[in-house]
Amino acid sequence: MPGVESQTRIKRHLNELGLRSQLRARPRIQGRVLAPAGMFRRLPTSTGLYFPFYHDVLPEYAGDLRRHLQSFKRLGPMVTWDEALEVLAGRRDLSGPMFCLSFDDAHLSWRDVVAPMLRELRVPATFFVTTGLVGQTGNLTWPDLRDLLAQGFQFGSHTVTHQRLADQDDAASLHEIRFSKDRLEQELGVEVRDFAAPYGSLVDYGDREVSAAREAGYRSFASTLRAPMLPGDSPMFIQRQGLHPAWPLWAVRTRVHD
């Protein structure tokens, strides 16, 4: 298995070639490409805290997402973000696989597809919102988000404009981190204490962003570096596993595994 730095270099090279964007535009093909690698892995059975996350869930992928979530539930409990942080702090037991689900951006499918399914399956989730997308065509409105809040879901910040933070100067990076928090708190009327970096690999953010998030009042900072977590790991270095609902379970196993 390549290390984190090797994975980051591979991602960067594929981005330069345009291959990753081509595959993302065809998620079922992407899943079939990934699936053979999953033959040599299994969904987790040993102790670890996993943070699978998704973006948009179109109606045609609802059945696939349901299979993902049901598979996770068979393996271990699905917990809220608050509960996951309790595990990292050593205040909640971790005796097998445990899963903490989240979604990024501000997609309409959260309201129409995701939330009804999560309620039915009794699965908690956190929605990381890019505040500048709210109200734009194809995205949720603030009333939509307030309705999701009333249903019991948690919220975190995913910046204002979804820029790669490492590419921004100090002032712009700080604005993305602070203003998104302020806007969410103003619109939702709750404290927002959790942040997820756009793109989320080591080339997309750095110590500057983690420090700025801590100073802004965030208690956790999420990346996309995939490894399972254990009690004692830092909440300012949450490692999430990015998935697409269209993927077969063998492809999911390339991201969420022992």
- The count of domains in the chain is 1
Q: Is residue 246 part of a domain?
A: yes
pLDDT digits (tens, 9 = 90+) for 145-197: 999 999 999 999 999 999 999 999 999 999 999 999 999 999 999 999 999 99
Q: Is residue 257 part of a domain?
A: no
Q: Are 193 and 220 in contact (CB under 8 A)?
A: yes
Q: Is residue 134 part of a domain?
A: yes
CATH number of the domain where residue 233 is located: 3.20.20.370
Phi, psi of 241, deg, nearest 5: -110, 110
Q: Are 209 and 165 in contact (CB under 8 A)?
A: yes
Question: What is the mean predicted confidence (pLDDT) over 125-135?
Answer: 99
Q: Quote the CA–CA distance of 165 and 105 in Å, as a whole number.
A: 15
Q: Is residue 16 part of a domain?
A: yes
The confidence score (pLDDT) of residue 21 equals 65
The confidence score (pLDDT) of residue 5 equals 56
pLDDT digits (tens, 9 = 90+) for 199-217: 999 999 999 999 999 999 9
Question: What is the mean predicted confidence (pLDDT) over 23-32?
Answer: 86
- pLDDT bucket at 16, cuts 50 / 70 / 90: low
Name every residue whose Cβ is closer than 8 Å to that of residue 88 and which is 6 or more positions away in sequence. 49, 229, 230, 231, 232, 233, 234, 235
Angle between helical axes of 142-150 and 170-188 (0-180°, round to 10): 60
pLDDT digits (tens, 9 = 90+) for 219-246: 999 999 999 999 999 999 999 999 999 9
Q: Is residue 258 part of a domain?
A: no
Range of the domain at 37: 4-252
Beta strands in 160-228 (DSSP E): 194-196, 220-223
pLDDT digits (tens, 9 = 90+) for 45-55: 999 999 999 99
Q: Is residue 167 part of a domain?
A: yes
Q: Is residue 218 part of a domain?
A: yes
Who wins on pLDDT, 21 or 135?
135
Q: Quote the CA–CA distance of 130 and 178 in Å, as a whole number.
A: 12
Q: Is residue 141 part of a domain?
A: yes
Q: Cβ atoms within 10 A of the Cβ of 52, count?
A: 20
Cα 149 to Cα 26, 87, 133, distances in angstroms: 32, 23, 18
